[in-house]
Amino acid sequence: MGVQAMLKTLLYTINSLLQQRRYRAALAVLKGFRNGAVYGAKIRAPHALVMTFLFKSGSLREKLKAIAQATYTHSRNLAYFVFAYKGLMALQSRLQGKNFQLHSFVAACVGGWLVFGENNHINSQINMYLLSRFLFGLSRLAVEKGYIPEPKQDPFPIFAAVTWGIVLWLFEYHRHTLQPSLQSSMTYLYDDSNVWHDISDFLIYNKSNAQK
């Protein structure tokens, strides 16, 4: 049998396996792992690239290594979490015969503890991102369920004002409490803009070679 025929047979076998309903839950877990790895890399790589070249010093090799490490960590952690979450969801459904809302909470709690419980800068960014999203979600849900009255006016301007007011107050007077990447961004915007010597570091560059 030629190589082409062998590959064709292999593909046919794999595709047949993928159509088997009995393996659907396990295959969904595997694809979730794949999607977690891909999505984590896609969103972390460009972010790490920009933040590293903007705010970090070191050689090109060191910068590329930092980008690769951040991308790998984000990709791995998201893949592990999706794998754990979907696996636990499938297990609970199998044990109890159907899905309950509590299953999602329990599976995510366990996955979050195991994967995102380590206090590092990647996990910190992801957890804080989710915190803001679920607070928004809970607020909308509370309005939908009638637990709190629907605002007569759009509350977003008040939310924006309070958010920016508090974060800049923290930056100016208690900046050690803020995440390092946020400190770096705000230092670039609000502190570095107070310092210049000539047109080169006023308009063209942020800092002169002497300052660097």
Predicted confidence (pLDDT) per residue in 162-201, tens digit: 999 999 999 999 999 998 889 988 999 999 999 888 888 8
Clarify whether residues 99 and 162 are in a common domain. no
pLDDT of res. 198 = 87
The domain tally of the chain equals 2
Closest-CA residue to 30 (of 84, 75, 91): 84
HSE, CB side, 13 Å, CA atoms: give it for residue 65.
6
- Of 58, 85, 117, which one is at a domain's C-terminal end? 117
- Of 117, 144, 174, which one is at a domain's C-terminal end? 117
The string of pLDDT tens digits covering residues 50-105 is 888 888 888 999 999 999 999 999 999 999 999 999 999 999 999 998 889 999 99
pLDDT band at 209 (very low <50, low <70, confident <90, very high): low
pTM for this prediction = 0.82
Clarify whether residues 104 and 161 are in a common domain. no
Clarify whether residues 98 and 167 are in a common domain. no
Boundaries of domain holding 173: 157-211
- Of 65, 88, 117, which one is at a domain's C-terminal end? 117
Q: What is the SS3 assignment for 161?
A: helix
Clarify whether residues 5 and 106 are in a common domain. yes
Other C-beta atoms closer than 10 Å to the C-beta of 13 total: 10
- How confident is the model over 38-52, as a mean pLDDT? 93
pLDDT(208) > 80: no
Clarify whether residues 84 and 167 are in a common domain. no
Other C-beta atoms closer than 10 Å to the C-beta of 83 total: 20
Clarify whether residues 113 and 161 are in a common domain. no
pLDDT above 70 covers a percentage of the chain that reads 98
Average pLDDT over the chain reads 91
147 within a domain of the structure (yes/no): no
pLDDT of res. 122 = 92
Clarify whether residues 107 and 161 are in a common domain. no
Clarify whether residues 69 and 164 are in a common domain. no
63 within a domain of the structure (yes/no): yes
Clarify whether residues 17 and 96 are in a common domain. yes
